[in-house]
Amino acid sequence: MKLFFSLLLGSCSLAHGLATSPSLVKRDTGPKYRISPIDGSKIALPTKEQLVWQDKEIGVIIHFEIATYLSVDGCNNIPNLLPNVSLFDPTSLDTDQWVDTINSLSAKYATLVAKHNCGFTTWPSEVTFETRDNETIHYNYTIAQSPVHGKDVVKSFVESADKGDIGYGFYYSLMWNNFLNVQSGDVITSSWTPGQVNITNSTYNQVVLDQLTELWTQHGNLTEIWFDGGYTETQQAKIQSLLETQQPGAVVFNGCQTNGTCISANPVRWIGTEAGAAPEENWSSGLTNDGGDPQSPYFCPAECDTTLQTGDRWFYGVNQTLRSLEEMIDVYHNTVGRNCVLELDLAPDRSGLVPSNQAARYKELGDFIRSCYGNPVAHKVSRNDNGVYSFTFKKPTPIDRIVLMEDQTNGQVIRSYQVYAKIADSQTSNGHVPYTLISNGTSVGHKKIDIFNETISVTEVMVNSTYVDTPKWRSVTVHLCDK
């Protein structure tokens, strides 16, 4: 069976990248752009959904299902691993506690792993299908067959997200399902593990469509959708149609292939690493899994997914150590501060709660972000036109960083910027205080944070830029965080 393309989360530890398939037929999801009045280049245009998503800046990806109870990090690349459904027994399940933790981080949305590669669904799927023996059975590898039958993690999560006023979405693995003996999109017919069900590829494709229909039609409007592992050529058309009719407003992680074939009008792309870092030069346009391309006609902003646990561990690991607060602050600056939405893993433990040490670390990170960036240093704006933004202070004022935000309503147009300041006590022999270059870069996009090598005391700050159309600065603020 021919793979269409790969849309893969780090927890699967396989490949985030996209393969190309020129046979796909484009619908109304092609590039939208305008022409630069300055040099005639193409300026990719965003959808309102993409801009709203970028505004959220931080989300979480929640890994909680039967793999939570394994010593390994999921059923990835282990075709004969079929955990017994009796393992799934969260005695203290509390999705409100999850959302409290998410809010303490200042994250604005959460994507729940509803089905991972083992095949277990955390909702009581009511899908039926026919086996190769012509027997019609229920999909019976779900929470309904577990010790906590009667519960529905997906429904509970959505209700908690609504109460906590955060966006929500779902992750569903299409290309791997150990329960149905599916690997890389194909049903394995040569061998079976006890408990696996023998079906045909066409039956599997229908199971996928039916379960996505359950997820996408019963829980309101989704913020984000992840297709874990991609989908096959025979699945694509019906999945795209379902997406367009039921969840047209959701952003879709890796919603475009590198050849320009898109499944969604609201695609977002992977940044190419699970370390929690974007390139210094990271554009809102482009389709490859890297820093993007300012010349691309596709507006496809980047998402940076990474873990809080060490060792690239996504599901809860017993005694797994956590990355330090200092490292996570660097992650924030190297993702959100480089025009990338940060999606940080959240891994509830086997009781169904976010462990206290993890909850504390999320709150520490949220506290830092709020304390550092919640109250900019006061200043008086003196100019904001023709790509220049400048402001003054009443007296010499210490700052140690600057936050730049571009208005991308009509596309990302700034191609480089330079930040100058008049530094106190740096006057020349004739008494004038010169401008000194204190930072510079290329892409601004939604947000760019520059941290200076040391604290400086300034009386004026000016930002200049080059561009392909006269830009609108959405915001320029300075801060003092290392007090």
Look at 32 and 1; give whichever has higher pLDDT.
32
Question: Torsions phi, psi of 309, nearest 5?
Answer: -70, 150
pLDDT of residue 404: 98
- The structure tokens listed for 52 are 């709203």
Residues 111, 410, 278, 391: is their CA dihedral positive or negative? Answer: negative
Give the closest residue to 476 by CA, choosing from 410, 394, 421, 426.
421
How does pLDDT run across 403-460, given as a tens digit for each residue?
999 999 999 999 999 999 999 987 665 768 899 999 999 999 999 999 999 999 999 9
Cα–Cα distance list, 187 to 1, 4, 79, 82, 206 (Å): 10, 16, 11, 15, 13
- Token pair of 156, please? 């509970």
At residue 5, does pLDDT exceed 60?
no
Per-residue pLDDT tens over the stretch 126-142: 999 999 999 999 999 99
Distance CA 462, CA 380 (A): 12
d(CA 357, CA 171): 25
φ, ψ (nearest 5 deg) of residue 361: -70, -40
Average pLDDT rounded to a whole number, residues 99-103:
98
Q: What is the pLDDT of residue 419?
A: 98
Q: Tens of pLDDT along 6-60?
A: 333 333 333 344 433 333 334 468 899 999 999 999 999 999 999 999 999 999 9
Supply the pLDDT for residue 95. Answer: 98
Q: Note the pLDDT of residue 10.
A: 38
How confident is the model at residue 14, as a pLDDT? 35
Where do the structural domains in the chain lie, given as residue ranges? Answer: 3-373, 380-479
Question: Is 382 within 8 Å of 264 (Cβ atoms)?
Answer: no
Residue 448 near residue 338, CB atoms below 8 Å = yes
- Position 232 confidence tier, pLDDT thresholds 50, 70, 90: confident
Q: What is the pTM of this model?
A: 0.93
Which amino acid, 147? P
| Distance from the first to the final alpha carbon of the chain | 59
Pairing state between β 167-173 and 109-115: parallel
Q: What is d(CA 248, CA 26) in angstroms, rounded to the nearest whole number? A: 16
Q: Which two tokens stand for residue 447?
A: 């947000």
Helical ranges in 374-465 per DSSP H: none
- CATH number for 3-373: choose from 3.20.20.80, 3.90.1150.10, 1.10.3720.10, 2.60.120.10: 3.20.20.80
CA–CA dist 108, 53 (Å, integer): 9
Region of residue 406 (left: phi > 0; alpha: psi -120 to 50; beta: else): beta
Determine the average pLDDT of the residues in 167-193: 95
Q: Are 130 and 385 in contact (CB under 8 A)?
A: no
Position 76 scores a pLDDT of 93
Q: Is the pLDDT of residue 229 over 50?
A: yes
Mean pLDDT of 113-135: 97
Q: 268-303: string of b/e by CB count within 10 Å (b at 16+)?
A: bbbbbbbbbbbbeebbbbbbebbbbebebbbbbbbb
Structural contact between residues 335 and 278, judged by C-beta atoms closer than 8 angstroms:
yes
Task: Judge whether 123 and 142 are in contact, CB under 8 Å.
Answer: yes
Q: What average pLDDT is seen over the chain? A: 92
| C-alpha to C-alpha distance for 46 and 408, rounded to whole angstroms | 8
pLDDT one-digit tens code per residue, 321-378: 999 999 999 999 999 999 999 999 999 999 999 999 999 999 999 999 999 999 999 8
| DSSP structure string for 337-389 | TBTEEEEEEE---TTSS--HHHHHHHHHHHHHHHHHHSSPPP-EEEEEETTEE
% of the chain beyond a pLDDT of 90: 84
Residues in contact with 87: Cβ distance below 8 Å, sequence separation at least 6, in sequence order = 66, 69, 70, 146
Largest CA distance in the chain: 94
Under the banding of pLDDT at 50, 70 and 90, the label for residue 4 is very low
What span, in angstroms and rounded, lies between the C-alpha atoms of 449 and 294?
Answer: 19
For residues 339 and 283, is the Cβ–Cβ distance under 8 A? yes
> What is 380-479's CATH number?
2.60.120.260
